[in-house]
């Protein structure tokens, strides 16, 4: 069995100032940055020292930082190094794509992938689109997304029209925003999978892969089933987490974040995103062909 690890270290700083994000323009102290770098290097060293995942499979790693990771050299280096390990099947990161992209030429394009979010008002549209073209030229797999706010609709339509057809453009329902059926249909015309994001998913008592084949790891090596359930399962570095890996039901009433509900066994998303669960890339043939739909 493969093991997916969602890694989130101390880093919480970001170079963007999005009004819907509590970490906008937050600055980490030099001490926090040094601690984050040391924690990440320890994590990568641990992965490198493991011949296989606990059940004999391979590791997949998704970096889910509170802030923007790829403006930090140690995260860029981590993606390159992890992609070169035979025991790693996939390594991906959530990013605003503000970083340069040339370093990805040193990564294994069969293993590395980016989950990119476009934030209108934070970067010029042409600059962001140019970055996606650089990724495509490097042969890097990536998805692109946007928050489903009314003022983001026009940029989303423009992105859908100008991105290559095979690049998935996802839309996240804005936190605290209620969508009428007409509004939801408009976003679904851009992202055919928007219905999964529109409402939180009832999850209490339902089987979930987290805690068995998916875990969350923090900078200290504390292992939890996911980012949203605080109870620890053990520690990565002393091996105590291994005994806790088993099937378990979700203890929360609802799950409303893609990096959580994608692992619910009650949803078909492992089939929808087969081969691209970490980077949010649907399997070939899942989405309708023929180019983007209109509003």
Which domains can be identified in the chain, with CATH numbers?
Answer: 3-273 (3.20.20)
Kindly state the tokens that stand for 231: 């109870």
Is residue 214 exposed (0-12), middle (13-18) or buried (19+ Cβ within 10 Å)? buried
> What pLDDT, on a 0 to 100 scale, did the predictor assign at position 290?
38
| Contact (CB, 8 A) for 38 and 65 | no
Give the list of residues 6+ apart from residue 286 with CB closer than 8 angstroms, or none.
272, 273
Longest pairwise C-alpha distance within the chain:
53
> What pLDDT, on a 0 to 100 scale, did the predictor assign at position 24?
56
Give the list of residues 6+ apart from residue 126 with CB closer than 8 angstroms, or none.
none
Neighbour tally for 294: CB within 10 Å: 10
> What pLDDT, on a 0 to 100 scale, did the predictor assign at position 67?
87
Kindly state the tokens that stand for 168: 């998935």
240-261 residue pLDDT tens: 999 999 999 999 999 999 999 9
What does each of the 295 residues of the chain score in pLDDT, given as a tens digit? 899 999 999 998 877 666 666 555 568 899 999 999 999 999 999 999 999 999 899 999 999 999 899 999 999 999 999 999 999 999 999 999 999 999 999 999 999 999 999 999 878 899 999 999 999 999 999 999 999 999 999 999 999 999 999 999 999 999 889 999 999 999 999 999 999 999 999 999 999 999 999 999 999 999 999 999 999 999 999 999 999 999 999 999 999 999 999 999 999 999 999 999 999 999 999 987 533 333 3
Distance CA 4, CA 60 (A): 5
Kindly state the tokens that stand for 13: 């700083």
């Amino acid at each position: 069995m493969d093991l997916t690890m969602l890694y989130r270290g101390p880093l919480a700083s970001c170079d963007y100032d999005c009004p819907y994000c509590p970490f906008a323009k937050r600055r980490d102290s030099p001490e926090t940055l040094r601690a984050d770098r040391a924690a990440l290097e320890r994590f990568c060293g641990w992965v490198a020292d493991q011949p296989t995942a606990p059940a004999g499979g391979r590791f997949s790693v998704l970096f889910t930082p509170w802030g923007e990771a790829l403006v930090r050299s140690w995260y860029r280096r981590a993606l390159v190094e992890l992609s070169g390990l035979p025991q790693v099947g996939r390594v991906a990161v959530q990013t605003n794509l503000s970083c340069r992209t040339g370093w990805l030429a040193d990564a294994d394009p069969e293993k590395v992938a980016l989950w990119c979010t476009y934030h209108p008002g934070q970067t010029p549209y042409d600059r962001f689109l140019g970055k996606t073209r650089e990724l495509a030229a490097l042969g890097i797999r990536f998805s692109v997304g946007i928050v489903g706010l009314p003022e983001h609709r026009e940029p989303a339509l423009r992105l859908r029209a100008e991105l290559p057809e095979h690049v998935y453009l996802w839309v996240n329902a804005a936190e605290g925003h209620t969508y009428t059926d007409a509004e939801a249909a408009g976003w679904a015309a851009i992202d055919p999978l928007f219905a999964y994001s529109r409402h939180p998913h009832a999850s209490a008592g339902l089987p979930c892969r987290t805690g068995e084949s998916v875990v969350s790891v923090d900078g200290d090596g504390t292992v939890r089933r996911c980012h949203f359930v605080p109870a620890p399962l053990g520690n990565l570095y002393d091996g105590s987490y291994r005994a806790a890996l088993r099937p378990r039901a979700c203890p929360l009433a609802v799950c409303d974040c893609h990096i959580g509900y994608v692992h619910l066994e009650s949803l078909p998303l492992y089939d929808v995103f087969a081969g691209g669960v970490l980077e949010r890339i649907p399997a070939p043939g899942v989405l309708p062909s023929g180019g983007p739909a209109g509003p």
